[in-house]
Amino acid sequence: MAEHEELKPAAELLADIDLDGVHSDTHSHPSLSDTDDEGELEVVLKLTVQLHNKPIELPFYHADATIQDLSDTIAEDLHIPPSNQKLLITPKTGLLKPPFKDPTLPLQTLLEKKIVLMGATSTEVQALESDLSARHARLSRRAAALAAARSTHNKPSRATRDWKRVQDESSYTFHTISPLPHLPNPSKSLRYLERLAADPGIKSSMRKHGFSVGLLTEMDPAEHTTHESRTLGLNRNRGEVIELRLRTDAGDGYRDYRVIRKTLCHELAHNVWGEHDGKFWALCRGIEGEVERGDWRSGGHSVGGEEFYNGVGEGEEEGVDGGGWEGGEYVLGAGSGAVGAGVGEPLSRREIMARAAEERIRKQDEAKRARDAAAAP
């Protein structure tokens, strides 16, 4: 396990840092404070986990402590319920989350590994749900006010209103849109997903083909990045859930809107065809063309006045496939005819950022050489 400066027990660290509204006085855990004073139990081993880029030292009082004991301690001391817990353990072990496949995994085997805890506390989830509810209420009031204002100037009659289109748009749509609350800035991810769902080209194509998607959500990059490839999109059960990789590899922004929209076109085609045969590609290309023709607002790049930064170069991933689509997934980095693309050891955040930085430097060097060559006599 990597060394950290001034490691503190979990009970002390919770008193020093603010986990977005979670304070140490909201829960009292007798195993950390009371037993220290009474001297009843002796700490046998200590395990350090990284939470919000801060090291937290968790004590255990028996040598045969397991991964299940670690999950229970996180729930009690850090107020992160098991359903929200994800443990990224490197090297080798990978991503673990309750319920564990092997709950008896000894913690002794993890002492020399790096453990990153990803998960939202109960308070954070409640705050996000409250913010989303308040935002939806504001949007509803604004939409009602705009509709009332328009009706006074140009109220359509029942004879001229396209009732079939109204009915189709309510049926052939994304019925639920949700970001991942444990990733940074979920409200911005929500706006990105809402922009995709409201895209005129996407809406037109979904009406034409009768596409209905239960949940549109973002993809957790940590779960879908390996040394060999990275997944951009995923369609589960032919439209039950569509996941899109909104964020850059370095985690410093969001990918180009047109790239993500093209990925969404691909995933919508998986509502009909599972295999990547000629019928699938014909439908996929057709959807892409319909979306481009239906986007009468093409050229816009902002949502609420905010630019979605593409950290690897605007549009650079467009048209990249290389045979790496597997079972409803859009995977970059797999060679032609690859089988099982996207399966491998997860990359750490540091490795992802390093790769992104190397790629940017390489492109800058290529651009400089091209300019120098053009300027040479």
Instruction: Show which residues are catalytic.
Output: 267
Query: Is residue 331 a contact partner of residue 229, using CB atoms and an 8 Å limit?
Result: yes
The one-letter code for the residue type at 37 is: D
Residues pairing with 46 in the sheet: 59
Q: List phi, psi (to 5°) of 152.
A: -75, -20
Query: Is residue 237 a contact partner of residue 247, using CB atoms and an 8 Å limit?
Result: no
Q: What is the DSSP secondary-structure string of 326-368?
A: ETTEEEESPPTT-SSTT-SPBPPHHHHHHHHHHHHHHHHHHHH
Alpha helices by DSSP H, the chain: 10-16, 34-38, 67-77, 122-154, 163-171, 186-198, 200-209, 257-269, 278-294, 349-375
CA 148 from chain center: how many Å? 37
Task: Find, among 302, 266, 296, 270, the residue nearest to 199 by Cα.
Answer: 296
Query: Is residue 232 a contact partner of residue 244, using CB atoms and an 8 Å limit?
Result: yes
